[in-house]
Amino acid sequence: MFELETAIDDWKLSFGKNDVVSPKETSELEEHLRGLIIDLGNSGLSQREAFMVGADRLGHPSELEQEYAKVNSGAQWRKRVFWMLTGYIAMTVVGTIVSAVVAIAGTGMAIAGVEGTVSAVALIAVMVLGWSGLPVLAYRQFQNLGGRGEHLPVKWFVATGIMLVVAPIITFGGRIAQTRIVDPSWYGESAVYFGFGGFAIHLGVVVFCFIAMWKFNNPIIEAID
């Protein structure tokens, strides 16, 4: 059995794949479609027939997206730049927070007299948890906003600014504290293992970001082709 509202919802979803048509423009298109359906229904067509004819008159979603892409090219580039800057700042914030947490943990283990090698392994584990947990929490918060990154709350910007200032200070203070608490051999042993482990983790994060960028861009590339 044909359900008009379901058909219209599916039709609207077809515009959200490449983010070319804005939600406002999608609503305007929906109004035009509903108007056509009413007019066609008054002329004797069934709901199914009116929907199909009305959607055909408006144009195929891919054709409409191409037209909107020409008109909204500037807006699309602004959005891309916005997300590139957002991604860069997000990576920087996560990195500074993880570094601060690692510095605090390292200082605590130095005070407790934990062996240098054991300390390095523990710090690598802390770094892995940080790089995997913080992005997940940020993503969930973003989902709660409905995916509209252009309307991020002011508190996010304030928190970001504070983290970018406070976290490096904590990291620097923790490193200084470790060098004064323990002897150079302990610190050197911990730094060697943690240095290689940290490099491997950061390399993995970079590879993951490139793969994610490629996956996210595939629909756009396919649409252009």
Name the residue ranges covered by the structural domains of the chain: 4-71, 79-224
Distance spanning both ends of the chain, measured CA to CA = 36
Please state the rounded mean pLDDT for residues 158-186: 79
* Structure token digits, residue 94: 């996560």
Asked whether the predicted pLDDT for residue 202 surpasses 60, the reply is: yes
What integer pLDDT is reported at residue 193 of this predicted model?
66
pLDDT tens across 125-159, in order? 888 888 877 767 766 666 665 444 455 667 777 87
pLDDT tens across 33-61, in order? 999 999 988 888 898 889 889 888 888 77
Residue (of 38, 36, 84, 42) closest to 58 by Cα position:
36
pLDDT class for 215, splitting at 50, 70, 90? low
Which of residues 161 and 73 earns the better pLDDT score?
161
Which of residues 76 and 167 earns the better pLDDT score?
167
Euclidean distance between CA atoms 139 and 121, whole angstroms: 28
Q: What is the dihedral of CA 203, 209, 215, 217, to 10 degrees?
A: -130
